[in-house]
Every structure is written in C-alpha cells, then in structure tokens.
Amino acid sequence: MYRSIYSLVVIVLFFTSCNTKSTLPPIQPDIITEFTLNDTDDPAIWINPADASKSIVFGTDKETNGAIYAFDLNGKIIEDKTIRNMKRPNNVDVEYGFQLTDSTTTDIMVFTEREKQQIRMFSVPNMKPMDGGGVPVFSDEELLENKLPMGISLYKSPLDSTIYAIVGRKTGPGTGYLYQYTLQADSLGVKANLVRKFGKFSGRKEIEAIAVDDENGFIYYSDEGVCIRKYHAEPSKGDVEISCFGGEYFLEDIEGIAITTYPDGEGQIIVSNQQKGEFNIFSRKDNSFIKAVNLTTLETDGCEVVTVPLNSTFPNGLFVAMNDEKNFYFYDLRKIIE
C-alpha cells in the first residue's frame, strides 16, 4: 500500500512539474556566457560611451567565495575586471556620472555583500574600490536577519543629479522594508546617508528584485508571492504606494525586473515568472499586461536590459537573463519585445 501511495505522489509531482513548464514558442539566446564558479543571480550592463561594442555585462555569483563577473559581449569572462572573493554578493547595478569632485565624475557599479551586511562600490571601467572596504546598511536594525542586504538598484535624480541606492533585504517589517541612501564622495571616500525607509512587504516570501525607471521617476520591486509594487523614486514625492500589479500573471515567484526606456515614456517592464520559465511583459506607461515570452532560461532570478545598439549581434539593444546553470543568456532585444 505504501509503495502505491509513493508511486501516486511521484506521478502527481511529475505532472505538476510538467504543467508548470512554458508552452510558448522558445526564443533562443544569441550568446551564452562562460560558467561562473557557484550560483549566478543578478546582472547589470555598463554601456561604454567611447565604443558601445566594448560594453561590459556584470553578473553576481552568490556564495561565500563569490564574485562579480565581468563579461564581454561574446560572453567571455574579462578576468581583470572581475571582482572575486566577495562574501555572498547578491544584486548589482550601475550608474553614470557619479560626482567625485566639483570637476570629476566616474561611472560606478554597486552591489550588495550579504554576509558582511554592506554594499560595495567600484568605479567603472577601471574597477577600483571607492568605499574603503564597504558601506554598512540597515545598521539601525537589531536582528541579524533584518540586516542581510539582497536587492539593490540605483537612481539618479534629474533634479540635482544625486545618486541614490535603494536597498532591500532578506527579511524585514511590513512597512519600511526598503532603505534609500544617498551616495556621496568626500575626502575620506564614499558615504551612504539614509534618507528614507519605505515600501510594503506582504511577509509571504521575500523581496529581492528592484528596478528604477530614472526618466519617469519610479521604483518597482517584486513582493515575490503577491505583486509588483510601484513607488516614487524621488524622496520628496512621498512614500505612498502607487500600485500593486501583475500578480495574477505569475505561477509562483515574481523575480527579476528590467525596464526598457524609449522617448515619450514608451517602453516595457520585463519581469521573470521564475517557476514558469517565462518572462511577463507589461507596459511602461500604464503597467498593463502585454504578453509573456519563453526565453528558455531556468529559474531566472535577475535580468537587465539596455535599448541602445551595441554591436552587430545586438543592434536593437541587449537583454540579459540569469540562467540556473551558472551562466547568463544574452538576447538581441528585438527578439523579445516584438
């Protein structure tokens, strides 16, 4: 009898698993990167202003001996721009034109280092540390589990060019789940000053994926078991939630978020439907559902996108998705959004 019950459970689990797989036409990647050592998670894309074909894709490898890998557009690891021996780096983002002095700026890459309860900041493309070994976050929390940073996204204000880091964590309260910091340089290095705590959390799973629409001034983040939450990025505009949308289009976890930006507010919000093996695409203008696509990735956590031409392989922009086989998939953007 027990054997029969066991066999029935196996059959049910098998068919449940089969039914969660995407039935949409597969879209194959143009490039698959070289393998990382441990466990890939979140990508970021830096566009080289002098030569777009020499742009860099950064990708986290989250483990105690983790790294931020740097890839060229052929998916090859750029070893001299890869940052190794990080303590569980989780999510990563880039921003342009960080003010060092009155007359000097640099592009930056910032990522969370979970096991040290801090964020790290490096200049791009020379990959020099700017943070004196790390900047603590969630320092006012008493419980260790509420100090462990996961998601991060950067926002550059059009009002005064201030660059903010919006940081999420493994667990936290029902309100004030995200912390927003200004990033500022002085003679001693870079400091992060807390300017607000905001954002609802359902408590069902966790919040990891965060993305910012700089031009329109919105922050989006995945409350994984519920919806995509939307807030103003500018602290002066308040902490009231604008919307909580899209949850009905996901099988289980709502994961990585990437935003395509075009003139006049056109564009898409692309979000990983992790267990379904698909990506749901929403309108950037009104957040309505457009369609789903099957990009053949497994259990995608993080994704990123740029809309400018980079080279002959990516003439319409680049979409990058984490794949659960220690690598990342690169796609010409047109294959996804048209």
Residue 299: which CATH number? Answer: 2.120.10.30
pLDDT-derived band at 14 (thresholds 50, 70, 90) equals very low
Q: Residue 189's pLDDT is what?
A: 85
CA–CA separation, 48 vs 70, rounded Å?
13
Does 18 reside within a domain? no
| pTM reported for the whole predicted model | 0.93
What would the pLDDT profile of 95-133 be if each residue is shown by its tens digit?
999 999 889 999 999 999 999 999 999 999 999 999 999
Per the listing, tokens 């036409």 go with 25
What are phi and psi for residue 241, nearest 5 degrees? -65, 130
Q: Residue 186's pLDDT is what?
A: 86
Q: Residue 17's pLDDT is what?
A: 42
Does 5 reside within a domain? no
Dump the DSSP string for 240-265.
---EEE-GGG-SS-EEEEEE---GGG
Does 6 score more than 80 pLDDT? no
Q: Residue 264's pLDDT is what?
A: 83
Does 10 reside within a domain? no
Q: Residue 16's pLDDT is what?
A: 42
What are phi and psi for residue 102, nearest 5 degrees? -60, -25
Q: Residue 265's pLDDT is what?
A: 84
Does 241 score more than 70 pLDDT? yes
CA–CA separation, 144 vs 336, rounded Å?
40
Does 244 reside within a domain? yes
What DSSP state is assigned to residue 218? E
Does 20 reside within a domain? no
What would the pLDDT profile of 37-57 be if each residue is shown by its tens digit?
999 999 999 999 999 999 999
Report whether 199 contacts 215 (CB < 8 A). no
Does 22 reside within a domain? no
140: closest CA among 169, 102, 100? Answer: 169
Which domain range does residue 271 map to? 27-337
126: Cβ contacts below 8 Å, ≥ 6 apart: none
CA–CA separation, 230 vs 242, rounded Å?
5
What would the pLDDT profile of 163-192 be if each residue is shown by its tens digit?
999 999 999 999 999 999 999 998 888 999
Q: Residue 195's pLDDT is what?
A: 98
> Tokens for 154?
């950067």
State the total domains in the chain: 1
Sheet holding 105-113, edge to edge: 89-99, 105-113, 118-124, 135-136
Does 13 reside within a domain? no
Mean pLDDT over residues 192-199, rounded? 98
Does 2 reside within a domain? no
> Tokens for 311?
């080279």
